[in-house]
Amino acid sequence: MPIKIPNNLPAVDILAKENIFVMDENRALSQDIRPLKFIIINLMPTKIETETQLLRLLSNTPLQMEITFLKMTSYMSKNVSEEHMSNFYKTFNDIKDEKFDGLIITGAPVETLEFEKVDYWKELTEILEVIYWKELAEVMEWSKTHVYSTMCICWGAQAALYYHYGIKKYPLKEKLFGIYPLKIDICHTMLLRGFDEVFNMPQSRHTEVLAEDIEKISDLEIIANSKEAGVSIVRTQDKRNIFIMGHLEYDRMTLAKEYERDIKLGKDIKIPFNYYPNDDVNKEPLFVWRAHANLLFSNWVNHHVYQGTPYDLTKLEEISNFQI
């Protein structure tokens, strides 16, 4: 089944060429079913590339979805046109009275900054449901009644864990950069249904969260980790909130582009771990995480969103076990 996305979004043509079924708004209006409503807070600098990556993965389900992209009004994107942002992105004020089945918060190129120093942090925390104490009750009310399940990626995951649970991030000695094997900690989890016991995940970050901090929080469970990459996937006990420290959404060449960018900027960056065959940057990287990326997003949409979200989204507030 297709995903419903805005008319004329650049990803439409890209995905159509890959034989991925997408449906524009005009065609979707003729179908008498309720699509799942997803909102994506895209904080990545490569807006169009990230849009395409996430839509590609979300399309791999038998469900129709309606996708809304959200921008931070306090930050002007430097890598995409103002016209693109105006045409395809909404603000928090535009959508705060709507209800959604799923929310995705991407990574952001600001992870070495303290959270409070990020320009759009105050606005982001309102959407996440956490803000300073005097505003906490109002924002908690919004999220409890407007979103069913959330997936946070990389910096977005660290940010959510910090504000929901006070879990800090710590700087790494050097950037964690490459493809790392992960081991499943909890075998019987629907999010990782069908996964191999060991699977690969791209990582590209300067910071980490620690297992001992997460284990102190009874509401959180670590479901995948590795010796090299540390904590990699965390969920809440009600299974409605997922925190992913890596980038399963990345394409084959995303790490290569990041590596080439940093080399041009004169940064001290190592060749991505376990990425290029024989560490030869002239060889095409093997795409060894694609199957698990598709499976994870499909499992999340089906088991963590579709199977639990009410048909009538106005009844979200009646679900008693909602947490963050």
Catalytic pick among 66, 146, 154, 208: 154
Q: Is 249 a catalytic residue?
A: yes
Catalytic pick among 51, 129, 249, 258: 249
Nearest CA to 56 out of 20, 32, 17 is that of: 20
Residue for token pair 């309606």? 66
Q: Is 247 a catalytic residue?
A: yes
Catalytic pick among 247, 258, 292, 304: 247
**How big is the chain by its Cα radius of gyration, in Å?**
19
Q: Is 206 a catalytic residue?
A: no
Active site residues: 154, 247, 249
